[in-house]
Structure 1
């Protein structure tokens, strides 16, 4: 099985993803900025490498990806009101991950985005939300225009409810909620599914088992 690097390896989705990937016998490298995360993530079965998304450059990303066959970009600037971090983490972190993957000779790249970020924003949109949407939109556009074997997953509103194993996945679906655990299950499934290369899918809770959804989504 392949070794998979997760950028933003201490995030809530990422921690679920580590479990799912290890259950499939993948090796997992969790990339995090704080040494204090090491013990928890190693207990979950991940190898931990330090990487400061905002302060380090693409060459550092490439070095952190050494020995990996897949990159999953699951980082985010957080829920606070810091609009600058939407650019430095959600956009620039993705751009450096893309370049780092290319430099490291890694073809497979899976990115976590957000549903509806290509839609026009109302004039009264708050500046932080606008910065977030624009960062995700531009990161997705950059990945689509790259020469990598990419997949983009765009979840709806994330919840901490238990996993259901049932989702709706497709190129355009109605907005809705989805558990973080179900997002991780979809990410783990698409990593090994060749048919998902070059696909950008919205993801919300639904009625279709994850494996079937990934196998049939259009």
Structure 2
């Protein structure tokens, strides 16, 4: 049994991942920021831990991560949250999680980012500009770390039922992808040690998720 700590476990991808891990017999530790969310994680088969990454210290978060085999960061400030929270959650939370994982001795780290954040089309100002800057810089910090990282950059996220098939590559071109399939992709990356050191975009496609991870892990060079 693998123990996976998920930061942002009550989000739309996080909840799907908790359920998926529980169904396959792994232990999911869901780090959540509200008391009522602890119970929601338990209903999905995980163990909720109450901790807010916007106010926690690195030592507090490291304590919550101790004993895990991997950390998944899929937290986000969300739509309408404003530029300040994009910075404190999407960037600050990710950097805090990276440092806490290192402190806790958890070397495997999967981070959910966004397609095109390094070269956005007309980022403008306001929420969108803050979002792409936060995600891009958080990814850069992770790539520079000593963690065994994987960065996933999905296209437009949908709540459509997952197909179990994706297009996964360093660059896929624009497209959408189901949150079900992103959760399955995270789980597949956790199963494939060779996925460490890679950054991929993902959108809906025709390749089974696990096969896509295996093929890309073997055929593409590690991201730098």
TM-score range, shorter chain: over 0.9
* TM-superposed deviation, 1:121: 4.7
Contact 1:58-1:97 within 8 A present in 2 as well: yes
Q: Which residue of 2 aligns with 1:133?
A: 132
TM-score (norm 2): 0.94
Q: Which residue of 1 aligns with 2:60?
A: 60
Q: Which residue of 2 aligns with 1:107?
A: 107
Q: Please state whether the residue corresponding to 1:54 is helix, strand or coil.
A: coil
* TM-superposed deviation, 1:38: 1.8
Question: Structure 2: which 5+ runs fail to align?
Answer: none
Cα distance in 2 between the residues matched to 1:130 and 1:12: 22
Q: How many residues align?
A: 217
Cα distance in 2 between the residues matched to 1:58 and 1:212: 36
Q: Please state whether the residue corresponding to 1:119 is helix, strand or coil.
A: coil
Cα distance in 2 between the residues matched to 1:141 and 1:170: 18
Show CA shifts across 1:80-134 (max 9, x none). Answer: 1411111000000000000000000111000000011111553x61321000000
Moved more, 94-103 or 74-83: 74-83
Show CA shifts across 1:6-26 (max 9, x none). Answer: 001100001110121122211
Q: Which residue of 2 aligns with 1:149?
A: 148
Q: Is residue 32 from structure 1 mapped to residue 24 from structure 2 by the alignment?
A: no
Question: Structure 1: which 5+ runs fail to align?
Answer: none
Cα distance in 2 between the residues matched to 1:151 and 1:102: 15
1:152-163 correspondence runs (5 A): 152-163=151-162
Q: RMSD in angstroms over aligned alpha carbons?
A: 1.1
Q: Which residue of 2 aligns with 1:9?
A: 9
Cα distance in 1 between the residues matched to 2:25 and 2:142: 27
Structure 1 segments (4+ residues) deviating >2 Å: none
Contact 1:163-1:179 within 8 A present in 2 as well: yes
